[in-house]
Structure 1
């Protein structure tokens, strides 16, 4: 979608709602559906964790624009001007967790392990993660439990809520470390066949992540153009077609694993724009819909 410059060129406003909640407790929670709006950029203290649940949206954070889809997590400092924008005819659902990290770092938290799990946070940096399905499910569950504790406020709810927050920060801390290892690993320039082979291995190991050429090419210290030409020449199939085929294979594994995972969750986890897009692509490759494949596999008929 296009972002109205009039909305992002104004001086950002303070988010008084978050500030007021932080005066009572160092965690603010929100789970909501958003449609098109005319809100301007805003700022608030602390760290914001923003989990996309359904639909797509555009986030303006500082001087950068992020396009988000279900299964993606944004983590950024609240002091950086930000806002989410949604297409006129679209609906977008998200879970938001804002954390007053300054209070937690001062030792005011009754859960002392929290400050040590926030050491990775950079007050100038926005991080975007494409979550694997298990991490997406885990973080969704954490957000759900945090909302439940906050709403019911039973005895010890603060400790329970902070315990869930600790789980969230540890998950993110691990993902940050994984990203750092991937970025700092020295990778020499490869011969064309070895480059294509290693690229295949990388794709198969990172099916739940952003596999755009612009993201993958730097891993091998080559340009996107060089990678796509080499891949097609050595493998006889276009790079994006190979990614698509591997994701369809992975979706088959998930479909065979059980009925508790919805087609929508599988679609979003593997980077498809929607469940209908996933179903169309699956059928074009297998001549079956995902539902037909799942039903046939459970009936014992060879797929």
Structure 2
């Protein structure tokens, strides 16, 4: 992908990719940057973060890692992770969420993908995650995916399938060549709905947003949303909304002189006491200490 290029790469729908005895199912694909607020979460699927530009810090498995351009991290299902939000640290990255499962219990050992899938599962069998450098020009494949998905020329759906398969194989070659699973298949509709709900929350976090409001917007029950967040992200709707509001409040605290009362209102909190409490719980310092630290740092 070209540096500095505005991107419309966002594929929230499922792309099924048939192989002989397996199916690779791309659940979600999107290009993001430093303005994206992530919360720590888990998935029922595999996930690849590929760094295109800048530096990216990741919390994963209780540790923090720094990822550089042309590096990626492969995260298996069930591992808690999240990108560290820092709008001053420029970065561009692509998230690729996928599942892989047998088409039948009678999968043939002679199928061309059998050995590849076996090695893939073996590489992750004793690891929480894998970080590696890309030696197979996968950024070029992502550019091709973006071009087909945005321009939609004749036959683009067919090429999109081929490019996603190629990206999957060539990213994993980096791991398998260097020596350096879960076959459960989650509900694709649930996965896509979870992504849509979080985007809705980011668009409306500054409002008096409730679980009931979101349920009405998506025509599903509050209980259904609660189950989606628990199954797909390993957290709750309320905690997710609080993290969004907290991170956006940090921007106001750092770059403006607005009082805490006004900032709390701007990010949708009912009282400044809520912001004080969340800040102390999540940042390990008071709001005044945070402002003092960053003003000294910026001077």
TM-score norm. by structure 1 comes to 0.43
Of Structure 1 and Structure 2, the greater helix share is in 1
The structure, 1 or 2, with the larger RCO (C-alpha pairs under 8 Å, 6+ apart) is 2
TM-score norm. by structure 2 comes to 0.43
